[in-house]
């Protein structure tokens, strides 16, 4: 188990699911904004964190590794109890209630996010791209987003706020022309791209603010 501390006054510990994928990159971003981080591999470690990030990687591989540790059911219950969670790329897929394009036999999901997601919506690795995203309701410069074998949110259910969408990129005749790539539903923040692979800290700051707010609420009780 590795625990890292930051240098700012933000006294929250954010766990990063460390079964597979880009968890170390998320830790680096979190440390830059002053969060303490913890690599989460076992259910009991959920007691030690104030928020959780589900990183990009391969959602099917994560599900297979989790079959040994049993983290997904524990995370599912913590989300229901209000634990702030951010899922990026594969993490978005794991959080979705409905997923298109699953491999034969399906895969284990955490669920809780009332959306339908299409795996590899924008194509394979060679179709990866970067672009500027404007966040709904937020003024100022656009954020830079890195899409690698990225999913997209093709249907948004009740209670889900769309923060950013993409129009026409990678669309074909059998796919919708405008899709959401960043959404928020209560304590869940979900992104189709990789904020940890750039230099823009905006999304991690947004999530850390939610974690801090939730921790303050608990402390006031």
Q: Do residues 132 and 143 touch, judged by C-beta distance below 8 A? A: yes
- The string of DSSP letters for 147-168 reads ESS--EEEEE-TT-EEEEEEES
Specify whether the CB–CB gap between 52 and 40 falls below 8 A: yes
CA distances from 28 to 3, 11, 20, 49, 52 (A): 12, 16, 16, 17, 14
Element (H, E) at 35: none
Residue matched to tokens 């188990």: 1
Looking at the annotation, which residues are catalytic? 89, 194, 196
Tokens of 76: 């599912």
């Amino acid at each position: 188990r590795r625990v890292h501390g930051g240098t700012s006054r933000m006294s929250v510990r954010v766990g990063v699911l460390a079964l597979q994928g880009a968890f170390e990159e998320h830790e680096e971003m979190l440390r830059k904004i002053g969060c303490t981080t913890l690599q989460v591999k076992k259910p009991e470690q959920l007691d030690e964190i104030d928020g959780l990030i589900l990183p990009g990687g391969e959602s099917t591989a994560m599900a297979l590794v989790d079959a040994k540790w049993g983290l997904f059911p524990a995370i599912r219950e913590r989300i229901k109890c209000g634990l702030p969670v951010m899922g990026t790329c594969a993490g978005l897929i794991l959080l979705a209630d409905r997923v298109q394009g699953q491999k034969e036999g399906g895969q284990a999901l955490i669920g809780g996010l009332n959306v339908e997601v299409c795996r590899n919506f924008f194509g394979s690795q060679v179709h990866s791209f970067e672009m500027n995203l404007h966040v709904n309701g937020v003024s100022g410069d656009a954020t830079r987003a890195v899409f690698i074998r990225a999913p997209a949110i093709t249907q948004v259910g009740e209670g889900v706020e769309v923060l950013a969408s993409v129009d026409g990129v990678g669309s074909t005749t059998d796919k919708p022309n405008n899709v959401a790539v960043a959404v928020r539903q209560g304590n869940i923040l979900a992104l189709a791209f990789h904020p940890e692979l750039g230099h823009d800290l905006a999304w991690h700051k947004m999530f850390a603010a939610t974690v801090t707010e939730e921790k303050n609420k608990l402390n006031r009780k």
